[in-house]
Each structure stands twice: as structure tokens, then as C-alpha cells.
């Protein structure tokens, strides 16, 4: 199958990209599209959507999958927020079954917590946090579907946890943290390679105390997670982030169940949250995820920062590019960033 756009083409066979090029395709295409063909969007942090949490069971995940595919997301990490060990293990077992299903865009699990700073917990329930790592890995972290863990590097034993997770092939992101720059840098040296929702639920960036945010912006090894809804980070600051760390930005939705659903009241991580005017907060008025889906985050990033479409697409696809041999997870995007077609593993799903 050859898919042709005005300025290039992609050939797909056996669920993989087998050839691509600029200009005219080598033979008559199977489908012509009007827009840019790019790697599908990848959301590394999604708590829920379509009115459901990712921990809501097969029906909930099925609804989330369908919504995300319709919006160009061909891979996402289901984010399990801080909860009890038994609940986390049950969620991991259920989600792992879905990860194994090739018809689902669910690519793995992101455990956000419970090793987080109580002072920077955001909307996480205080009673679910763990104040130290004692060398016993939570059962949920052992799941074959575990892909990413967010932790606070200043907690006792945290650097040992970073090392153990990396040994297991699980990526580590730093967040919900008040770490100073020295501690944050040590965690990066230990193997952490991302920062979760920059500026949110972390100590501030100070000119004499740069903290975790400063390390995230300055260290080229670190990928910078950003929620580009305009509420979590002011658009002026988003422009600064692009100038400093543009190629390392990883747009995330941090979507709550309200994403793709009407304003109203929902449940996230055992707490009530309220979506009003596209912003989600808990009973204390604390931001509790977003009502954003990743294609809209991409469009807002471009509008707020001036990033051209190609750059915004990379930021919304975890840096992925079209390449021969890669899974044929593709998105067709118009000049204004709207999604016009979606392919998952070589099959058109939109």
C-alpha cells in the first residue's frame, strides 16, 4: 500500500513502513491524502478520557482507545496515579492484557507515584504517598507493561530506585519534587531521562536556586514533559521553554476523564475533580490533570510558541519520525493541525 500526500509518500506492508520519499510515488498510490503524513501522536501521560479513568476496566479503556485514535494518538501510556499497592497491582494486570492487544494504542503504563514529595503532591492523595524507597520494589512496577515511573529524587533511597528501574528497562521521569539542582543532577546521572509536567508540582525555577526545573532545561540528556494547555504553563513561559529545550520537549496531555467529555464532575485517583471551562481542578482548587487531548496540545503549542507544524508534530509524537522499518502508526495532519486520517499497524482506523 502506498499513501501519497502533496509533497511525499509512504509505502506500508506487513504493518511496517517499508519505503518513503519526497515528490511523486514510484507507482500509483492506494490512497491520496491532503496534508502531512507523520508518525502517529504519542501521549506519555494520560490518566483518563471520554469520561473514564484508565483504571476503569476494559469498557473504559476501550472508550479511551477509540477517542484517542480518532484524535491521532496511536500510542499512549496509561497513567496510574498514587494508590495502594494492591490497587496498583490489579490495575497493572488488567492494563497489561490490553497492552498485548495489537488493535489497541495502549503501549504501556506510566506509574506516577507513589514515591512523590508530600509538599509537591498536587492532586495526589497524601495518604497514598510513600516517603522513602526501602529496596522493595512495588509489585506493580514489576509488570511487563511498566514503561515509565515518575518519582521525586530527593526521597531517601530514590537514587537506588532509579537504578533498579533502569536495570529493568523502565524509564524514569522526575516530578512532584522539591529537589535542588544537585540532587536532580545526581538522579539524571543515575539514569533518569525525563521530567514530568515541567514547572507543575515542583519547586520553582530561581536564578540562585534553579532546582529540578533548571536541570530539566539545561541538561541535554533530559526530555521535558510539557502540558501546553495555557493553564498549567503560561504561553510566555512556553515560548521560553521552546527556545531553550525545543527538540527535547515532549508534549503530554495529562488528560483527566474530562478530556473529550463535557464539563462536569469526575473521579481521578479516588478524588472528585471538576472540569469547568476546559480546566480541571480538585475540591481544593488544585489543578488535577487537564481536559486536553494531544492533538489540541500540539495545535496550542504551535499557536503559543510559533513552532511550525513539523516541529509541533515531533513534540507530540515523543520525538518519533517516519522511518523505514518502523511500525506503520501514521497520522495525516492538515496545515492547521487538524487530524484527517489515522493508521494503526498498517490499518486505517480513521
Judge contact between 104 and 128, C-beta under 8 A.
no
Give the single-character DSSP code of 222: -
Judge contact between 84 and 121, C-beta under 8 A.
no
As a whole number of angstroms, the distance between CA 64 and CA 47 comes to 10
As a whole number of angstroms, the distance between CA 313 and CA 200 comes to 23
Kindly state the greatest CA–CA separation across the chain. 62
User: Considering 43, 219, 254, 295, which one is annotated as catalytic?
Assistant: 254
Q: Give 70-108 as a DSSP string.
A: HTTEEEEEEEEES--HHHHHHHHHHHHHHHT-TTS-EEE
How remote is the C-alpha of 214 from its chain's centroid?
21
Where do the H-state alpha helices sit in the chain? Answer: 58-70, 85-99, 158-167, 181-190, 211-218, 235-245, 294-305, 309-315
Q: Dihedral sign for Cα 242, 246, 249, 251, please.
A: positive
Q: Is 254 a catalytic residue?
A: yes
Specify burial of residue 95 (Cβ count, 10 A radius: 0-12, 13-18, 19+).
buried
As a whole number of angstroms, the distance between CA 256 and CA 279 comes to 10
Judge contact between 291 and 255, C-beta under 8 A.
yes
Cα angle 75, 79, 80 (rounded to 5 degrees) comes to: 145
Judge contact between 112 and 81, C-beta under 8 A.
yes
Q: Which residues belong to the active site?
A: 254
Amino acid at each position: 500500500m502506498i499513501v501519497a500526500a502533496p509533497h511525499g509518500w509512504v509505502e506500508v506492508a506487513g504493518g511496517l513502513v517499508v519505503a518513503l520519499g519526497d515528490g511523486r510515488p514510484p507507482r500509483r498510490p492506494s490512497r491520496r491524502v491532503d496534508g502531512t503524513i507523520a508518525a502517529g501522536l504519542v501521549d506519555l501521560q494520560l490518566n483518563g478520557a471520554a469520561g473514564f479513568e484508565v483504571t476503569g476496566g476494559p469498557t473504559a479503556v476501550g472508550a479511551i482507545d477509540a477517542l484517542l485514535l480518532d484524535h491521532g494518538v496511536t500510542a499512549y501510556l496509561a497513567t496510574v496515579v498514587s494508590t495502594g499497592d494492591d490497587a496498583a497491582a490489579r490495575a497493572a494486570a488488567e492494563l497489561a492484557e490490553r497492552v498485548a492487544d495489537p488493535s489497541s494504542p495502549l503501549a504501556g503504563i506510566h506509574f506516577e507515584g507513589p514515591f512523590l514529595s508530600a509538599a509537591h503532591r498536587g492532586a495526589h492523595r497524601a495518604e497514598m504517598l510513600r516517603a522513602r524507597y526501602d529496596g522493595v520494589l512495588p509489585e506493580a512496577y514489576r509488570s511487563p507493561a511498566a514503561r515509565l515511573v515518575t518519582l521525586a529524587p530527593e526521597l531517601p533511597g530514590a537514587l537506588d530506585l532509579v537504578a533498579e528501574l533502569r536495570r529493568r528497562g523502565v524509564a524514569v521521569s522526575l516530578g512532584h519534587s522539591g529537589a535542588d539542582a544537585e540532587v536532580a543532577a545526581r538522579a539524571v546521572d543515575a539514569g533518569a531521562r525525563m521530567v514530568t509536567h515541567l514547572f507543575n508540582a515542583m519547586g520553582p525555577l530561581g536564578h540562585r536556586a534553579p532546582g529540578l526545573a533548571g536541570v530539566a532545561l539545561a541538561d541535554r540528556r533530559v526530555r521535558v514533559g510539557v502540558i501546553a494547555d495555557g493553564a498549567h504553563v503560561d504561553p510566555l513561559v512556553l515560548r521560553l521553554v521552546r527556545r531553550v529545550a525545543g527538540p527535547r520537549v515532549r508534549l503530554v496531555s495529562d488528560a483527566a476523564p474530562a478530556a473529550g467529555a463535557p464539563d462536569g464532575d469526575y473521579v481521578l485517583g479516588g478524588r472528585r475533580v471538576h472540569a469547568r471551562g476546559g480546566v480541571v481542578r480538585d475540591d481544593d482548587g488544585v489543578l488535577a490533570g487537564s481536559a486536553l487531548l494531544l492533538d489540541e496540545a500540539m495545535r496550542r503549542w504551535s499557536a503559543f510558541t510559533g513552532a511550525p507544524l513539523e516541529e509541533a508534530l515531533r513534540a507530540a509524537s515523543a520525538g518519533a519520525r517516519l522511518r523505514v522499518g518502523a511500525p506503520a502508526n501514521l497520522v495525516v495532519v492538515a496545515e492547521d493541525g487538524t487530524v484527517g486520517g489515522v493508521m494503526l499497524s498498517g490499518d486505517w482506523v480513521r
